[in-house]
Each structure stands twice: as C-alpha cells, then as structure tokens.
Amino acid sequence: MQQPHSFLKKITIAILIGLCGTGALQAQHLNYLNTSKEAKTLDLKKFSAHLSNTYRDSSVGWAYTIWKKGKLRYDQSGGFKITPADRLNKEGLPFLSSTRIHVASMSKTVTAFAIAQLVDQQKLKWDDRVKTYLPAYWNLHPDFENLTILDLVAMRSGLDGPLDALSSSTASLKRLMEKGPNPEKRGKFNYQNTSYGLLRIVIGYATGYKELQPAADSLVVGTVTANLYKTFVNQSLFKPAGIHAADCSITDLEPAFQYPFPYANEPGELTGWTGQSNLNDLSEYAGGFGWYLSSMDAAKLINAAFVDKKLLSTNALTTLFKLDYPFKIRKNAYGEHFGSGGDWGHPTQNNGWRGIHAYYYCFPEDIVVTVFVNSGDSSPTVRVIRAYEQAFK
C-alpha cells in the first residue's frame, strides 16, 4: 500500500533535521501522522466512554488502554478471562489490561521491530540474502537464492503457506524453501505467517547460532534458534519497554481461556490453542504469531517505539513505514491513523466465533490505544475508529 505523500515528506524533513541538528533527540523526532485541517478537539473521556459502551455487551471479556504522549489516560476492562462455568467455586476471573493472551499476528510487529534493531546494530542489512541466515544444508529453490531480509518483512517473498501454526515450524519452512515461491505472488504483498517464521530463524542466526553437522543440527536448530529469538526480543525490545518475563507459551498460573461468542456457558479453550495438545508452547512456530502479551504490555511496546522512540532509529522506522506491512497508514474523518494486530481462533457451529483479538492503534498527538478482546464478534478496528471519530467536540 502506498503511503500518503505528506507522510513521506514529513519523514524526509525529520531525517534532514536529525542530520543537520545538534543532538540525537532531533534525529529521533518523527511525525508519522497527519491531522485534518478541519480537525476539532479530541475528547479522550468521550473516546473511552464510547469504547467501553461498545464492548460491554459484545464480548466475553475485554480490556483497553488509551495513552497520550506516553502517559496512561484510561485503563478499562470488563467480562471474564475465565468464566464462572469453568471454576469450581463458580466465581469467574476478570479480564484485565494485565491479562496475557496469545496476541497472534501482533507478534509480526514484534518480529519486525527485532529485525530493524538488528539492522541498527549492524548485525543485519535489509538487503542481506536470507540464505546467509539459514542452515547451509537446506537445498533452497533457485528462485530463493537472492531473497532478501526486506522481502520477508514486506511479505513479498512468494512463500504461500496456509495461515496455520504447523506451516511455520522449522521442518515446514525447510520444505517450503525447497519447493520455491508461488510465481504469481513473488515480489507482491501476500499476507501469510511463513515469512515471519523464517525471520525467527534469521534472528537466531544473527544473534549467535552456531551450526552443527547436518544430521545433528536438524535436531536442534528449531529449538535453539527459537530460544535465541525470544532472548533477543526480551532483552532488546521488551526490557527497555518495561515488559517483563514475556514468552511464546502460557506463563500465567491462571491462564485466560477463549470462549464462543455469543456465549452460552460453554467450556473454554486456552488462547493459542490449535487443536494439537503439543502446541500450547508456540516458541518453535513463532515469528508471525506466538507471543503472549497483555493490553498493557502492548501499549508499553508501542509507546516505546513510536512515542518515546527509544527502540529504533529514524532510518529503521522510515524503512518500515515505506513497506506494505506491518504499518498501514489509513485515513479517518479527522486525519490519519495506523495500527496492526491479530485474531486467533475458529468459527463455531452456530456461525459465531471462538477466539481472541489483540490490536494497537496510533493516532496524531502521540495517542496510542490497545484493545484486547476475548471472543468478541470481530476485530476491533471498526469500533475503535468509530469511537475515535465520535469523540471530537
């Protein structure tokens, strides 16, 4: 998707100021969103009230946070992470902004940040060939010989695996890289998980993985690169953002369950559940999905990246914003916004939905919103933008 010319113009100006100015703080200043010339004043209290009203009766559980210039302004939640029907004492546990769930494709934002930071650290280049950071004994299809890191981040690799967990395992990725790209999708944006699954392995190699002899290496490469990926994300992204002990598996002693919506006292499933009992730990499938975070965790990460600007350089952010993914700048009635997130679950027999929605949104004036929903009827975007537009005086 092409970004508005005004956005790119602002990015260029910000970079020039940074290069000609006197301090690093100037180099880090980014204006990435425009407001409408006719924009009125946003009433955050109304924004919060509209969001609260829209989710009170349309999900099993929900939580959202609203921030302005790095300060928490509203933290609201309701419903359950575990319903009374699933507890022996018949007292449900509330869904809160601290409730961690599987955030699905919000994990792609995390992985894109990790790649960009490795570029900042000069451990990678955007135009590096991906094969440099994959097992040497993989027999790559000739059409993947010149595949670059940037191709993977932008989802124009031509990889065409289904949107399921198993397609992002190391063994599946090896087969897909040997099979070759879909010629109709190579070089074009094509949403899938496999490109970001490959980035998990790339990050493992870029942060210290030492390859063994092929027979031995094939036994450990998936596990070790997944652990290196998680370690790098926790140390280089989550720790500076104030997020502690995050993982690609359930760590909560009372984990959240996902329920059908509409809800009729059905038993829950663990968020991230795939129908395979051995996939409750998504570490070796992660990259395009896999992380367990809370609405508050997500807000800390997005504020650190786009408001405090302490995770990535101006050049790295500029490169990411020029791509079709992961940040999509869109128009609303009062200017521009961007956001991303993920949905995870499956349809129910009565045409409902059992799963989660986890999203973040950025608006002008450094406003960050995170919305996490337990088994709502759809992703939050339409409701969030409507609530935002209704909150202008």
Give CA 324 to chain center in angstroms: 15
The answer, yes or no, to whether residue 180 has pLDDT greater than 80, is yes
pLDDT surpassing 80 at residue 189: yes
90 and 142, same domain (yes or no):
no
Total count of domains within the chain: 2
Is 90 found in the same domain as 31?
Answer: yes
CATH number at residue 167: 3.40.710.10
Domain membership of residue 281 as a residue range: 5-101+250-390
Residue 244, in any domain of the structure = no
What is the mean predicted confidence (pLDDT) over 146-165? 88
CB 362 within 8 A of CB 33: yes
Domain end, chosen from 238, 270, 286, is at 238
Query: Are residues 309 and 301 in contact, defined by beta-carbon separation less than 8 angstroms?
Result: no
* 236 or 15: which leads in pLDDT: 236
Render pLDDT for 31-80 as a digit per residue (tens, 0 to 9): 567 776 666 899 999 999 999 999 988 899 999 999 999 999 999 999 99
Query: Quick one: tokens of 306?
Result: 């786009």
Cα dist. 261→23, 208, 233, 355 in Å? 52, 44, 33, 9
Question: Looking at the predicted structure, is the pLDDT value of residue 14 above 70?
Answer: no
Tell me whether residue 245 is in a domain. Answer: no
Quote the DSSP letter at residue 377: S
Instruction: List the one residue out of 141, 312, 130 whose CA is nearest residue 206.
Output: 130
Residue owning tokens 């946070």: 65
% pLDDT > 90, the chain: 75
Do 199 and 228 belong to one domain? yes
Q: Taking residues 84-93, what's their average pLDDT?
A: 96
CB 166 within 8 A of CB 285: yes
> How much is the average pLDDT of 328-342?
92
Percent of the chain at pLDDT above 70? 89
